[in-house]
Amino acid sequence: MAATLSGGASSEVPFTYSIERSDGRKFTYSYGASNLTTTYESASTSKLVTSVILLRLVDQGFLALTDKPQKHIPLWPLDSGDVIYNMTLAHLLSFRSGMTDELLCLHSAGANFETCTKNMASSNSGSTYTPGSVFYYSGVHMQVAGLMAQYATGSSWQDIFAQFKNDTGLFSSAAYDLPSSTNPRLAGGMHWQASEYLDFLRALKNGTLLSPSSMSELLKDQTAASQIIYSPPKQDLNEDWHYGLGLWHEYQSSRVSSPGAYGAYPFWDRSKNYFGIVARQGAVGTYPKGIQIERSVRAKAEAWAACPF
């Protein structure tokens, strides 16, 4: 039986909705067998987490947003004759590298992370898109960025994530384990709990995770001068969202977000000064339902967030 909410929103699966305002007060509602500590698959909600982890490596001096893959990755398969040869970490995190093709190995538990990533780069060698000129929503960009990070630090992604956990105290039970821990899909392969994601959003909002310069780049509209080639919000919502580094700038809105394909929807409304999440796991492609759940109560949430008592 589906939950029917105001505004025509509904959910065929259990979910938890939780928001927190500037004074730390929280409102949480759960439907069915879901709560703040239920573990969910991340789908694309991991993109923001991955981006922040990589930007912390920038702050620590391991990487720079101007770095090209070949600076760190030995035997990089693209050569200077490829149009996309000059892609940078900034292009990768904003999905403007010029790459569009994914390979099935991205979703294979037994695939080798480095081999798969290099093969995907090779499969994009015929791209005619100059880095920075177009936006294309795809998982390939973050795999390349992750491989850069592994070589820059001399650590596996699992060790990089473990260090992030240790340094921040965040995502204590979360994992990058899809399709496997040895071939993690950085743009969509975590498990997390809603409480953990809320803690992450709070730290991000409070400015404790990134330097001011990295925070500025994270939140900057990176696609203002780029052609949008493929965008799920345009395709499914008919809304012209833009993109920062691992997060969406929503259409005619002050909020940034990182919705996932199964309907989870973490967001931060920067002008209304509150953040929250819809945690759910429906079928692939049901991400608009998470957004609809949040929008069905948004007016009430905004009024509560602005209330002085």
- The reported pLDDT for the residue numbered 151 is 98
- Are 120 and 78 a contacting pair, CB within 8 Å? no
**pLDDT confidence band for 10 (50 / 70 / 90):** confident
pLDDT, average across residues 48-64: 99
The helix/strand/coil state of 237 is: helix
Q: Is the pLDDT of residue 1 over 60?
A: no
Residue 128: phi and psi, rounded to 5, are -105, 10
> Where is 266: in which H helix or E strand?
strand 265-269
In a 10 Å sphere around its CB, with 0-12 CB exposed, 13-18 middle and 19+ buried, how is residue 207 labelled? Answer: exposed
Output the CA–CA distances (angstroms, integers) from residue 20 to 61, 116, 205, 268, 305, in the order listed.
33, 40, 11, 10, 8
pLDDT, average across residues 227-235: 97
- The reported pLDDT for the residue numbered 309 is 84
pTM (predicted TM-score):
0.97
pLDDT, average across residues 158-178: 98
Please give the mean pLDDT across all residues of the chain.
96
Structure tokens at 271: 């002008």
Give the pLDDT confidence of 25-35 residue by residue, as tens digits: 999 999 999 99
Q: Is the pLDDT of residue 258 over 90?
A: yes
How many alpha carbons fall within 13 Å on the CB side of residue 294?
A: 25
> Where is 38: in which H helix or E strand?
none
- Are 107 and 185 a contacting pair, CB within 8 Å? yes
Instruction: Please give the Cα distance from 309 to 303 (Å, whole number).
Output: 11
Give the pLDDT confidence of 58-68 residue by residue, as tens digits: 999 999 999 99
Instruction: Please give the Cα distance from 32 to 44 (Å, whole number).
Output: 23
- The reported pLDDT for the residue numbered 4 is 63
Q: What percent of the chain has pLDDT over 70?
A: 97
Give the pLDDT confidence of 96-141 residue by residue, as tens digits: 999 999 999 999 999 999 999 999 999 999 999 999 999 999 999 9
Kindly compute the dihedral angle of the four CA atoms of residues 188, 61, 275, 253, in this order, to the nearest 10 degrees: -80
